[in-house]
């Protein structure tokens, strides 16, 4: 279990993380999503005991990261943004070294290494020097070191950064599999990663949580569930906008543009796509407008992210 109670982290007078509370249980994979500088790495470093919060409490399996930092380190597997690998060692030598660091008993080492090699698909590269393996295999080796002591909790900082599309798919599959048994928190600024891997997402901006829930819940909370894109022909353009805003299931007119050919391009945020579809047709017929095309669109996590973090980029 990963918990934070109103944590704050200041670097000097700069507040990097402000009033963050969260709770992540077993079998959950939670994604921290945010633009550069949002505070993702800072939160991860707090949970690993690398940084202490300046206010509030962070707990790993009920151990306080400050007062029980050794217990915390035993309970977690951590993959930092740059996997901590030694290039001149082979994968096997490196994993043996990690067994030493993690104080895994000598007679259990072979069994544990065989397990992580199988789980992370490292069989082909086990005897190769780390400097000669691909980025995907380096990342798998990083994951293998994070799980060699069978931690209940995994903390993964941007685990797919720098990988090619095939490697990304494989690492995501692996994280999902690990997440069935463990508690996982991962950071990312790749929006598709959240949909592909995480059960829940926390969107961070400037050190604060600005949205939380499943990707679906966040979509629903924002601007209704659906959007419609409509192309319309009307002789009385003036009355189109004012009357469309009065339709019950329309939340907001997001775009209203007259094209050179006289057609009107409309984008709407609506509460319910089925009843709104019906109402839009009735509205068009009763006003003598002609709908040339009407396409329902789901609000994407990209749209939400841009809306919530538009002011978040570091200057
Ligand atoms: P990225 O996606 O770029 O890795 P992030 O969301 O992980 O960003 P953090 O690395 O947590 O963000 O940084 C949050 C803010 O804190 C940034 O403004 C950063 O410049 C600042 N910061 C991070 N570490 C330190 C530090 N050791 N000293 C001072 N400021 C820091």
Which residue, 213, 83, 79, 48, is CA-closest to 146?
79
Instruction: Supply the residue whose CA is at minimum distance from atom 17 of ligand 1.
Output: 37
Q: What is the pLDDT of residue 207?
A: 95
Q: Which residues line ligand 1 (CB under 6 A)?
A: 11, 14, 16, 34, 36-42, 189, 314
Q: What is the pLDDT of residue 314?
A: 45
Q: What is the pLDDT of residue 311?
A: 59
Q: What is the pLDDT of residue 190?
A: 80
Instruction: Supply the residue whose CA is at minimum distance from atom 27 of ligand 1.
Output: 11
The CA–CA distances, whole Å, from 275 to 155, 226, 247, 272, 295 equal 44, 12, 11, 6, 14
Q: Which atom of ligand 1 is nearest to the CA of 43?
A: 11
Could you tell me the distance, in angstroms and rounded to a whole number, from the CA of residue 153 to the centre of ligand 1?
23
Q: What is the mean pLDDT of residues 272-279?
A: 79
Instruction: Supply the residue whose CA is at minimum distance from atom 31 of ligand 1.
Output: 11
Residue pLDDT, tens place only, 117-140:
998 889 999 999 999 999 889 989
Residue pLDDT, tens place only, 208-226:
999 999 887 887 776 555 7
Mutation to probe ligand 1, out of 7, 8, 9, 11 (largest number of atoms < 8 A from CB): 11
Could you tell me the distance, in angstroms and rounded to a whole number, from the CA of residue 41 to the centre of ligand 1?
7
Pairing of strands 153-157, 14-24: unpaired
Q: Which atom of ligand 1 is nearest to the CA of 314?
A: 18
Q: Is pLDDT above 50 for 266?
A: yes
Percent of the chain with pLDDT over 90: 60
Residue pLDDT, tens place only, 167-205:
888 889 989 988 998 999 999 888 778 888 999 999 999
Residue at token pair 């980029």: 313
Could you tell me the distance, in angstroms and rounded to a whole number, from the CA of residue 188 to the centre of ligand 1?
14
Give the DSSP letter string of the chain. -EEEEEEEEEETTEEEEEEEEEEE-TT-EEEEE--TTSSHHHHHHHHTTSS--SEEEEEETTEETTTTHHHHHHHEEEE-SS----TTSBHHHHHHHHHHHTT--GGGHHHHHHHHHHHHT-GGGTTSBGGGS-HHHHHHHHHHHHHTT--SEEEEESTTTT--HHHHHHHHHHHHHHHTTSEEEEEES-HHHHHHH-SEEEEEETTEEEEEE-HHHHHHHTT-SEEEEEEEE-S-HHHHHHHHTTSTTEEEEEEEEE-TTS-EEEEEEES-HHHHHHHHHHHHHHHT-EEEEEEEEEPPHHHHHHHHHTT-S--
Q: Which atom of ligand 1 is nearest to the CA of 39?
A: 11
Furthest C-alpha separation in the chain: 84
Q: What is the mean pLDDT of residues 142-161?
A: 92
Could you tell me the distance, in angstroms and rounded to a whole number, from the CA of residue 136 to the centre of ligand 1?
25
Dist CA 115 CA 146 (whole Å): 13
Could you tell me the distance, in angstroms and rounded to a whole number, from the CA of residue 46 to the centre of ligand 1?
12
Could you tell me the distance, in angstroms and rounded to a whole number, from the CA of residue 16 to the centre of ligand 1?
7
Query: Are the beta carbons of 178 and 121 closer than 8 angstroms?
Result: no
Which residue, 272, 273, 255, is CA-closest to 264?
255
Q: Is pLDDT above 50 for 315?
A: no
Could you tell me the distance, in angstroms and rounded to a whole number, from the CA of residue 39 to the centre of ligand 1?
6
Mutation to probe ligand 1, out of 37, 190, 308, 312 (largest number of atoms < 8 A from CB): 37
Lowest average pLDDT, out of 7-11, 80-84, 254-258, 301-305, goes to 301-305
Could you tell me the distance, in angstroms and rounded to a whole number, from the CA of residue 42 to the centre of ligand 1?
6
Query: Are the beta carbons of 228 and 255 closer than 8 angstroms?
Result: no
Q: Is pLDDT above 60 for 313?
A: no
Neighbours of 150 (CB within 10 A): 13
Instruction: Supply the residue whose CA is at minimum distance from atom 25 of ligand 1.
Output: 11
């Amino acid at each position: 279990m990963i918990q934070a109670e109103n944590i704050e982290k200041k670097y000097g007078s700069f507040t990097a993380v402000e009033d963050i509370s969260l709770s992540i249980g077993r079998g959950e994979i939670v994604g921290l999503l945010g633009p550069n500088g949002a505070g993702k790495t800072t939160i991860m470093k707090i949970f690993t005991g690398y940084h202490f919060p300046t206010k509030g409490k962070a707990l790993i399996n009920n151990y306080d990261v400050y007062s029980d930092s050794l217990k915390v380190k035993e309970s977690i597997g951590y993959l930092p943004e740059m996997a901590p690998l030694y290039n001149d060692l082979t994968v096997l030598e490196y994993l043996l070294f990690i067994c030493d660091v993690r104080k895994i008993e000598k007679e259990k080492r072979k069994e544990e290494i065989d397990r992580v090699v199988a789980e992370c698909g490292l069989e082909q590269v086990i005897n190769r020097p780390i400097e000669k393996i691909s980025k995907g295999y380096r990342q798998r080796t990083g994951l293998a070191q994070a799980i060699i002591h069978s931690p209940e909790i995994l903390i993964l900082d941007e685990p797919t950064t720098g990988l090619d599309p095939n490697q990304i798919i494989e690492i995501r599959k692996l994280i999902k599999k690990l997440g069935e048994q463990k508690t996982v928190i991962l950071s990312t600024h790749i929006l598709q990663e959240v949909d592909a891997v995480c059960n829940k997402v926390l969107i961070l901006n400037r050190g604060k949580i600005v949205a939380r829930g499943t990707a679906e819940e966040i979509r629903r909370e924002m601007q209704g569930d659906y959007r419609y894109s409509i192309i319309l022909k009307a002789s009385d353009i003036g009355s189109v906008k004012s009357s469309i805003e009065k339709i019950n299931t329309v939340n907001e007119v997001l775009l209203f543009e007259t094209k050179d050919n006289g057609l009107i391009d409309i984008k709407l945020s609506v509460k319910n796509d089925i009843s709104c579809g019906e109402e839009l047709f009735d509205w068009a017929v009763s006003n003598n407008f002609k709908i040339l095309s009407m396409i329902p669109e789901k609000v994407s996590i990209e749209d939400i992210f841009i809306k919530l973090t538009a002011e978040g980029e570091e200057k």
